[in-house]
Structure 1
Amino acid sequence: MSRKIETLVGKSLVITGDLFISGAIHIDSIVRGNVICKRDVKAKIFLGKDSKIYGNVYGPLISIDGYVDGNVYCYDLLQIGSAAKISGDILYNKVDMEAGAVIHGNLSHDLNINFDDLYNVDVETLDKSNKITVNNPKN
């Protein structure tokens, strides 16, 4: 799952609002909002040890080594590192979890779930939020 990091969000930044991703991003900051990468985009979300996400995380490839207070919806491969702490439910296709990770929620594997419906559940709220869009310059 090697991807070149196109965007780095350092720990000195606090983001309030949803992040819409279309590339590889490494987050080591506080995000008070959802981190969203649509299913049809081949991107990766890296949540480093200093990351604190207060919202849901949606993406095809997700690596978590920080804190998430929200649900995680992973369309392809979810990697959960030993320093990860997740307070929320996790819906995934494939998962790789290291010893030491802490999860307070349910893990659900179901290949028949329509992730597009999950993404669209809160569209009204997402449309009213402040948005930061990270575009992949190669697209």
Structure 2
Amino acid sequence: MTFSGGLHIDGTIKGNVTSEGGEKAALTVSESGTIEGDVRVTNLMLNGRVIGDVFASNRVELAPKARVTGTVCYDLLEMSMGAEVNGQLVHSQDAEPRRLGYDEPAVDQDELSGDELSASS
């Protein structure tokens, strides 16, 4: 199943769920909702069950009744007390440098003149 915008699941889906449509795409799975398959979305708010791997390019929010059996790959993770993950939590390696601005060139201390060094001290 592929969606854009937002999708709210209260029942059971057997198969993969994928979002398209950029940063605002969000999947919400209620306490009575279950997905048996992989989830590839921008944002996930889970209070139900996922049996499969979760790949969220932005945010994963695991509410108290959330249950995941599989790997959870995320950029930002919020996990409430009571939520369960039976698998791995994997932070997205590409997200950290982009978010913290590590692509910007660093200032080499050897290139600074004595005046600049004393002014910055």
Percent of paired sites with the same residue: 27
- Is 1:101 aligned to residue 87 of structure 2? no
- TM-superposed deviation, 1:102: 1.0
Greater per-residue helix proportion: 2
1:34 maps to what in 2?
16
Q: In structure 2, what residue type is equivalent to 1:26? A: H
Q: Corresponding residue for 1:59?
A: 41
Contact 2:5 2:21 in 1 (8 A): no
Whole-Å separation in 1 of the counterparts to 2:64 and 2:73: 19
The one-letter code sitting in structure 1 at the alignment partner of 2:13 is V
Structure 2 unaligned regions, length at least 5: 96-121
Quote how far apart the aligned CAs of 1:108 are.
0.4
Please, which runs of 5 or more residues in structure 1 have no aligned partner? 1-18, 114-139
TM-score by length of 2: 0.74
1:84 counterpart = 2:66 = yes
Residues 98, 44 of structure 1: CA spacing in aligned structure 2 closer, same or farther, 3 A cutoff?
same
TM-score where L is the length of structure 1: 0.65
Task: Show the counterpart of 1:7.
Answer: none
**Do the aligned residues in 1 keep the contact of 2:54 with 2:71 (CA within 8 Å)?**
yes
Larger RCO of the pair (alpha carbons < 8 Å, separation 6+)? 1
**Alignment length (residue pairs):** 95
- Displacement after TM superposition at 1:41 (Å): 5.3
Tell me if structure 1 keeps the 8 A contact 2:4–2:21.
Answer: no
Q: What CA RMSD, in Å, does the superposition of the two structures yield over aligned residues? A: 1.4
The runs of at least 4 consecutive aligned structure 1 residues that moved more than 4 Å come to none
